[in-house]
Chain A
Amino acid sequence: MNFDEIEKQILCEVADLSEPPDGAYNFRVNGKSVGRKSTDNINVIPKTDKSGLDIKIEAGKKNETVHIPVVISTSGLKEVVYNDFYIGDGAEVLIIAGCGIYNCGGFNSVHDGVHRFFVGKNARIKYVEKHYGFGPGKGGRILNPTTEVYLSEGSEAFLEMEQIKGVDSTIRTTKAVLQDNAKIFIKERLMTHGRQTAKSDYEIELAGKDSVADITSRSVAQDRSMQTFSSKIIGANKCRGHSECDAIIMDSAQVYAIPSLDARNVDAELIHEAAIGKIAGEQLLKLMSLGLGRSDAESRIINGFLK
C-alpha cells in the first residue's frame, strides 16, 4: 500500500497507524479498498449488495484486532459504507475504526458509516472511532456515523468515540439493545469550532435482566459552533443506566442537551446528569497561579477535559 503525505497524516490521526498493523484490516481510501487482510480467526469479506464489509470473528478467540480506517482526500466524494461485525460467543476483539477527510476543493466531502455489531454471548468488544478533518477548501467535511450494537447475554462493549477537530457537520447516531447481564460503556469526546454543527443521538435499550449502560459525553463548543446531545435510556427490565453529558461552552457557541429516561420496570435504576458551563474562572486562576499563561491554561483545561 502506498499512501501520500496527506493520507499518511490522516491514518496517523484517526488510527495511529504508519504501516499496516498486525491482525485483520481494511484500508479504504477515496471510496476503494486499497488493502485488506483476513486472519485465521477474523474473516474480512466485502459485501456484494452494497459498499462495505462483513467482518466475522470466530467464537472463543481472544486478543484479536481489526483496523478499518477510512481516508477521503478527494473533494466532492460522497459515500455510504455498511460494515457489519459478527463477534462469536466468548470472543474478545479490539476494533479501531476512524475516518479523516482532507478537503481542498469547493465541494462537500461526505462519509456516512453504518456500523452494526452483533456481539455473541459473553463476548467482549472494544470499539475506538476517531473523526478528523482538515484542508484549505471551502467544501464541507461531513461525517455521519451510525453505530448499532446488539449485545447478547453476558457480553460487554466499550465504545470510545472521538471527534478530534475539523469536522464541519456530523450527526452521530448510536443505538444499542442489551440482553441479560450485558454491559455497554460509551465514552464520547467532541470538539467543535468555527460554525461547525454536531448532533449526538443515543438510544440504549436495557432489555435484559441486570443489564448495564453507562454513557459519558464530554464536549467543547467554541466560536459559533452548535452541539446537540440527546440521550434516551430505556429500562425495560431490572437494570442500571447512567448517562452524563458535560459540555464546556465558549465564545458564541450553543449547546443543547436533551436527556431522556424511560423506565418500564420498577427495578430499573436510571440516572441522567448534564452540565453545561464556561471554563470556570477559578480553574484558570489556579493554573495561572502555577505559571501558565491564560491561553495555555485554557488549552490545558480543554485538553484534559476531552481526554
Chain B
Amino acid sequence: MLELRNVSFSVDEAGGRKDVLKNISICFEPGKITAITGLNGSGKSTLAQIVMGIKKPTKGRVFWQNKDITDKTVTDRAKLKIAFSFQQPVKIKGISVFELIDIAKGGGADPQDIANCLKAVGLSPDKYLAREIDAGLSGGELKRIELASVLARDAEVAIFDEPEAGIDLWSFNNLTTVFKKIRAEGKERTLIIISHQEKILKIADNIVILEAGKIKAYGKSDDVLRSVLRRLK
C-alpha cells in the first residue's frame, strides 16, 4: 500500500510563502485506479511528483509497503517498482525509442517485448523503434513513447500525470483500455492518474479532488461523483 501521511509542500514566491499542498493524507489501494483531479494549480502534479521523489514534502511522510520512503531518491523509488509518466515528455538526443524502452525494462530486453510496449500505445514498432527521441518527433508521438516507457516498467505503482495531454482521442481511448487491462490482470498494481478527463474518472475506483492544495473530496468513485453532482444541483 502506498500512503501519504500529512503531506504539505510550500514554495517561496515573490510576496511570501505559498502552500501548494496542505496536510494531505491518502491511501492508494493496490489493484485499484485512483484518479486525482482538480482545477489547474490545485496541486495535482506536485502531489504526483512527491510520490515519485521528484519533490520532497516540506512536511509529512510517504510510505510504501509500510516503509518510510520520504528520503528515497527517484532512482531508489524506481527500483522499488514505482514508475512515473511525465506530463511534458522529455527529448533526449542520441537515445533511440528502442534504447529508452530497453532502459525502462532494465536492459537486455526481448525486442518483441519492446515492440509490444509501443503497440500498446498505438505506435508501429517498425516505424518508431530506431527513431531518436528528439525534435523529429511530434508532441503526440513523444507523449505516447513516454507512456510506453512507463508501461515497460511493469511497475507496482504507476503514476500518470495527465496522460491525455497531447494525444489524440483514438490513442487516449486505447490507453484507458490499457489501464483497465492492467487492473484486470489482478496483480494488485496501484495506478494513480492525474486527469481532467471524464473517461478517466469513470474508470477510476477512487477519486481525489484537490482544491487550492487541500483535499476537497476523497473516496469511492461513485460516492465522490454523486457528492459533486449534489453540490452542483
Please report A residues at the B interface, Cβ cutoff 8 Å: 218, 246, 280, 282-283, 285-294, 300-301, 303-307
Nearest CB in chain A: distance from B94 CB, A: 3
Question: How many Å lie between the Cα of A286 and that of B74 in the bound state?
Answer: 9
By beta carbon, the residue of chain A nearest B75 is: A288
* B79-99 at interface with A (beta carbon < 8 Å): 79, 83-84, 86, 88, 90-95, 99
* 30 A/B residue pairs, CB under 8 Å, sorted by A: A218-B94, A246-B93, A280-B90, A283-B90, A283-B92, A285-B54, A285-B74, A285-B86, A285-B90, A287-B92, A287-B103, A288-B74, A288-B78, A289-B54, A289-B78, A289-B83, A289-B84, A290-B78, A290-B104, A290-B149, A291-B103, A300-B103, A301-B94, A301-B95, A303-B94, A304-B92, A304-B93, A304-B94, A305-B94, A306-B94
The 10 nearest A-B residue pairs measured at CB = A304-B94, A291-B78, A304-B95, A288-B74, A286-B90, A305-B94, A290-B104, A282-B90, A288-B75, A307-B94
Residues of A within 8 A of B79 (CB): 291
Residues of A within 8 A of B52 (CB): 289
Question: How many Å lie between the Cα of A290 and that of B102 in the bound state?
Answer: 10
Nearest CB in chain A: distance from B127 CB, A: 20
Residues of B within 8 A of A305 (CB): 93-94
Interface presence of B124 (CB below 8 A): no
Instruction: Say yes or no: B73 contacts A290, CB within 8 Å.
Output: no
Instruction: Say yes or no: A301 contacts B92, CB within 8 Å.
Output: yes
Interface centre among A289, A292, A304, A306 (most CB of B within 10 A): A289
Question: How many Å lie between the Cα of A150 and that of B132 in the bound state?
Answer: 32
Question: Total contacts A to B, CB within 8 angstroms?
Answer: 64
Residues of B within 8 A of A289 (CB): 52, 54, 74, 78, 83-84, 86
Interface presence of B44 (CB below 8 A): no
Nearest CB in chain B: distance from A255 CB, A: 16
Nearest CB in chain B: distance from A292 CB, A: 7
Nearest CB in chain B: distance from A300 CB, A: 7
Question: How many Å lie between the Cα of A282 and that of B106 in the bound state?
Answer: 20
Question: How many Å lie between the Cα of A108 and that of B52 in the bound state?
Answer: 51
Nearest CB in chain A: distance from B50 CB, A: 14
B103: which of A280, A282, A292 is its contact (CB, 8 Å)?
A292
Residues of B within 8 A of A288 (CB): 73-75, 78
Interface presence of B143 (CB below 8 A): no
The SS class assigned to the B binding surface is: mixed
Please report B residues at the A interface, Cβ cutoff 8 Å: 52, 54, 73-75, 78-79, 83-84, 86, 88, 90-95, 99-100, 103-104, 106, 149, 153
Residues of B within 8 A of A307 (CB): 94
Residues of A within 8 A of B93 (CB): 218, 246, 304-305
Instruction: Say yes or no: B86 contacts A282, CB within 8 Å.
Output: yes
Nearest CB in chain B: distance from A188 CB, A: 14
Residues of B within 8 A of A292 (CB): 75, 103
Instruction: Say yes or no: A291 contacts B94, CB within 8 Å.
Output: no
Question: How many Å lie between the Cα of A304 and that of B92 in the bound state?
Answer: 8
Residues of B within 8 A of A303 (CB): 94
Residues of A within 8 A of B83 (CB): 289-290
By beta carbon, the residue of chain B nearest A287 is: B103
Question: How many Å lie between the Cα of A291 and that of B106 in the bound state?
Answer: 7
Residues of A within 8 A of B88 (CB): 282
Nearest CB in chain B: distance from A191 CB, A: 13
Instruction: Say yes or no: A300 contacts B95, CB within 8 Å.
Output: yes
Residues of B within 8 A of A287 (CB): 92, 103
Interface centre among A287, A291, A293 (most CB of B within 10 A): A291
Residues of B within 8 A of A294 (CB): 73, 75
Interface centre among A218, A285, A293 (most CB of B within 10 A): A285
By beta carbon, the residue of chain A nearest B78 is: A291
Question: How many Å lie between the Cα of A286 and that of B73 in the bound state?
Answer: 13
Question: How many Å lie between the Cα of A294 and that of B75 in the bound state?
Answer: 8
Interface centre among B52, B74, B83, B106 (most CB of A within 10 A): B74
